[in-house]
Structure 1
Amino acid sequence: MSYKIVFFDIDGTLVNEEKEIPADTIEAIRELKASGVEPVIATGRAPYFIKPLAERLGIESFVCLNGGYVVYKGKPLYRKTIEKPALESLVALAAQHDHGLVFEGEHQFFCDRENHPFITDAVLSLKVDLPGFNPDYWRTDDIFQVFLHCESHDEHLYEALKTDFTLIRWHPQAMDVLPAGSSKAQGIAALLDQLGLTAADAAAFGDGLNDKEMLAYVGFGVAMGNSNPELLPYADFVTTHVDERGIRNGLIEAGLLPVHSA
């Protein structure tokens, strides 16, 4: 199968624990583009978190916010926001337990608690700026995703909200909160439909729990060697660590780079 498009997660996939892109990954993406195959970023991050990385890799298209916001060559083509009544329930419940929230809009993001240690630790781990403070941001703007800052032993407190939301942990003190049923696969499907492609035409690389649906959906799903073990059953191939030519080796296995590729 000759894949026409490849989707790449960012954290733990395109970048390592230090949030650096390995030099070999940069070269592998360059070679992939030169062969006529299109690379696309598929991430839980918001678009304003990824611009420097996308520019460095020369990638113009992305599936952001865990599938909720899709851009193809600079043009937005798909948006899925969280309904206001569902947000209101989440805000009320989080307030009861002093769990901080970060609301992610299309162009900016804000938190509802100032100097909350969980917010600070989790957001800074992404190597991005801290959010501004605006507890009412969710009332006035479209929200695509929320960071819920709580530890795993408190997850059960939000069980009743799972009819409205999908919750995915990405940090010991933070979970992504997105509309129920949303995933990177949903955003990828919207992009492929616009391009006249099918899932069989696509490959994807990921390492985290929010990559399950994506790897299962595409024609060839690659889990990084440093992946969460729970992701591995969803992959067609497990490549090496992000710092050990993981992207290149996965592209070779997919038949998208030659075996003797540098």
Structure 2
Amino acid sequence: MKRKIIFMDVDGTLVNDNDIVPDSAAAAIKKARKNGHYIFLCTGRSKAELFDHIIEIGFDGIIAASGGYIEFDNKVIMHKKVQNEDVKHLVKYFNENNIDFYLESNGGLFASQNCKNHLRKIIYGDNNLDSKKRAELDKGMNPFIECLIEGENLIRDDINKVSFLGSPIPIETIKEEFEGKFNVIPSTVPAFGKNSGELSIPGIHKALAIETLLKYLNLQREDTFAYGDGINDAEMIQYVNTGIAMGNAKEELKNVADDVTDTHDEGGIYNSFKKYKLI
């Protein structure tokens, strides 16, 4: 079979809501690469959020920060960063409006003063958590919380993207504040809950990064697949030759996808790879 190029979202696609990679998904990726196919992560996360349990599966490269960062064979192909004056603007605005947030760079995740405590309340706040779900959260989400860096200067020149939590201000108001400076969307991490969101550099998205990578590697669009679940995957799903929405995807994404597979926990990645004879 001719080599295919597969682009894989992370949150809600490769990992479940507790940040666990199903064994079936890891097995499918390893087998597909053994069969000669390229597999790239294509995620809204910055590189610092791609933890060992994800990277150790093995990938041919990374598109991160919603398309702002491209890496192949450990070489950086593209890296777009937030303008310094825009970082100052958002830090001031979020602090004045009591919005907890963290700044995403390749070297770390830099959090506002109350961010860690806020995250713990969101993720562990359900008093009815059973032991199985708590164990998954401890394994999947707790390492993320603990990696957040507090007490550092937040005016930085290495920021790819920004995430905020449980805003007391409507997301539409935040969009208006940063119009022309950031794309503002609801959070793509289900565990973050309502009124959480992400700010990324305007004019950048996953499909543009895929196009850039394909040109760099002299690969053809007709050989591409993509898997996603959220609205930030729409451009990617529509750009590739075969765009596949997870069973747990947003309905808006399912409506523009070429196919819909099962949910992450139902073996959606593995079952789809089998269907398309990638494994």
- Return the TM-score normalized by structure 2: 0.82
Of residues 156-165 and 175-184 in structure 1, the stretch that sits farther from structure 2 once superposed is 156-165
1:156 to 2:178 alignment: no
Partner of 1:145: 161
Give 2:227's match in structure 1, choosing from 202, 205, 208.
205
Mapped to 1, the partners of 2:73 and 2:265 lie a distance apart of 28
Provide the residue aligned with 1:14 in structure 2. 14
Q: Does the 8 A contact of 1:237 with 1:250 survive in 2? A: no
Matches within 5 A, 1:205-224: 205-224=227-246
Q: Does 1:242 align with 2:264?
A: yes
Secondary structure (helix, strand or coil) at the match of 1:70 reads strand
Distance in 2 (alpha carbons) for counterparts of 1:64 and 1:22: 21
Match of residue 260 from structure 1: none
Specify the SS of the correspondent of 2:52. Answer: helix
Aligned partner (choices 225, 230, 237) of residue 252 of structure 2:
230
TM-score (ref. length: structure 1): 0.87
Work out the CA distance in 2 between the residues paired with 1:132 and 1:208.
27
1:40 aligns with 2:40: yes
2 CA distance for matches of 1:160 and 1:15? 32
Please identify, of 1-10 and 68-77, the stretch whose mean Cα deviation from structure 2 is larger.
1-10
Contact 2:84–2:156 under 8 Å retained in 1: no
Distance 1:48 1:87, change over 3 A: closer
The C-alpha deviation readout for 1:65-122, integer Å capped at 9, x for no partner, is 1111111121111101111222222223222311122111121121232356444456
- Judge conservation of contact 1:100–1:118 (CA < 8 Å) in 2: yes
Instruction: Tell whether 2:145 aligns with 1:133.
Output: no
Once residues 122 and 69 of structure 2 are traced to their aligned partners in structure 1, the CA distance between those partners, rounded to angstroms, is 22
Superposed, 1:1-262 pairs within 5 Å as 4-114=4-114, 117-121=117-121, 127=141, 128=144, 129-134=146-151, 136-137=153-154, 139-151=155-167, 154-158=170-174, 159-170=176-187, 171=192, 172-257=194-279
What does the per-residue CA deviation read over 1:111-153, in whole Å, with 9 as the maximum and x for residues that have no partner? 232356444456887611241124633x333110011224486
**Which amino acid in 2 is paired with 1:210?**
N
Using the alignment, how far apart are the partners of 1:187 and 1:119 within structure 2? 30
What's the offset of the Cα at 1:35? 1.5
CA–CA separation in structure 2 for the residues paired with 1:254 and 1:152:
45
Distance apart, 1:160 and its partner CA: 3.2
Q: CA deviation at 1:232?
A: 1.1
146-155 or 69-78: bigger deviation: 146-155
Structure 1 residue runs of 4+, over 4 Å off? 119-126
Deviations 1:219-238 (A, max 9, x none): 11110001122211221100
Deviations 1:25-70 (A, max 9, x none): 2221122112211111111122122241344312241111111111
- 1:168-194 superposed Cα distances (whole Å, 9 cap, x missing partner): 212324211101122222222222121
How many pairs align?
Answer: 256
Is the contact between residue 3 and residue 256 of structure 1 (CA under 8 Å) also seen in structure 2? no
Task: Choose 3-12 or 153-162, whichever is displaced more.
Answer: 153-162
User: Which 10-residue stretch deviates more, 6-15 or 106-115?
Assistant: 106-115
Unaligned runs of 5+ in 1: 258-262
Which amino acid in 2 is paired with 1:50? L
Identity %: 28
Give 1:157's aligned amino acid.
T
Gaps of 5+ in 2: 125-136
Distance 2:227 2:209 in 1: 15
